[in-house]
Every structure is written in structure tokens, then in C-alpha cells.
């Protein structure tokens, strides 16, 4: 972990339009200002997946204003925990960082019904991550 009292987490997937956006939104929602949250993609899409926007709206989290961001070396360097979700070897590696790889189905091209179980699994993993970081979820 960094010397900062606030841990930082970076979520990375290919398009930064689905899984990483949901994970970042859940961590922001449940962790508040007790954790710094980033997300990025190795090949970002133009917009967040509409089915993801709808699935997150169903649980009271609005990601409609989010935009996919490109993965940068600086984002990785400034994060304590880097969680990849299918970005493969595109994610740079730096010693001293904690890396996790979450194998999750890609919601690209899926409808809301297919996104819901992915969303729910991401929320479960975020709650576990908060516990590991010693942060009590706000909700």
C-alpha cells in the first residue's frame, strides 16, 4: 500500500465500458472518500455500454455520465491495487503493486438481463475488497 492513508484502486478492462465501470461505480458508492477509484481500458470504447448503464440504474447508481478512459502508465503507477478484468498483457506491471485478475464475463453486446449477474458478482467482489482494505461499506 502507499504511504497515503487513502488506498487507491484501478480497475482495467479492454473497453472500459462495462466491467471496470461497474466496479469503479460500486467502489465509489460503497467506499466513499475513503478510497481513491480509477478505471481505464486498454482499448477504450466511445461510450459506456447502455445495458450497463441500465443495470446500474436498477441498483441506484448512475453511470450515464461516465466516459471510457485510456489506460496510462501513470494510472497504474499511482494505484495501490490494480484489478484487471480481461485486459490481458496490456496492463503494465510495476513491482510493489497489488495485482488481482477478476475473471468475469464481458457484458459487451449483452442485454440487461445478462448484465445483472455480472453486476451482482462485481458488487460481491467489491464488498470483499473493501473488507480486505479495512473499509466498512457505506451501504
For the question of residue 108 being annotated catalytic, the response is no
**Length in residues, the chain:** 139
Q: Is-contact 8 81, C-beta < 8 A? A: yes
Question: Of 9, 10, 13, 126, which residue is the catalytic one?
Answer: 13
In angstroms, rounded to a whole number, what is the distance separating the alpha carbons of residues 24 and 34? 13
For the question of residue 13 being annotated catalytic, the response is yes
Question: Of 10, 17, 91, 130, which residue is the catalytic one?
Answer: 91
Question: Of 25, 35, 75, 87, which residue is the catalytic one?
Answer: 87
Tell me the DSSP string of 73-133: HHHHHT-SEEEESS-GGGS---TT-EEEE------TT--HHHHHHHHHHHHHHHHHHHHHH
In angstroms, rounded to a whole number, what is the distance separating the alpha carbons of residues 43 and 70? 7
Q: Is-contact 119 104, C-beta < 8 A? A: no
Q: Mind telling me the catalytic residues?
A: 13, 87, 91
Amino acid at each position: 500500500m502507499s504511504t497515503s492513508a487513502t488506498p487507491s484502486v484501478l480497475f482495467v478492462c479492454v473497453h472500459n465500458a462495462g466491467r471496470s465501470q461497474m466496479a469503479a461505480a460500486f467502489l465509489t458508492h460503497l467506499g466513499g472518500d475513503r478510497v481513491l477509484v480509477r478505471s481505464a481500458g486498454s482499448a477504450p470504447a466511445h461510450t459506456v455500454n447502455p445495458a450497463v448503464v441500465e443495470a446500474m440504474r436498477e441498483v441506484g447508481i448512475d453511470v450515464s455520465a461516465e466516459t471510457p478512459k485510456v489506460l496510462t502508465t501513470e494510472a497504474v503507477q499511482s494505484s495501490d491495487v490494480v484489478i484487471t478484468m480481461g485486459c490481458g498483457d496490456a496492463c503494465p506491471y510495476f513491482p510493489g503493486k497489488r495485482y488481482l485478475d477478476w475473471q468475469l464475463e464481458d457484458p459487451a453486446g449483452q442485454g440487461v438481463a445478462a448484465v445483472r449477474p455480472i453486476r451482482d458478482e462485481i458488487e460481491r467482489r467489491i464488498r470483499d475488497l473493501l473488507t480486505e482494505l479495512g473499509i466498512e461499506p457505506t451501504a
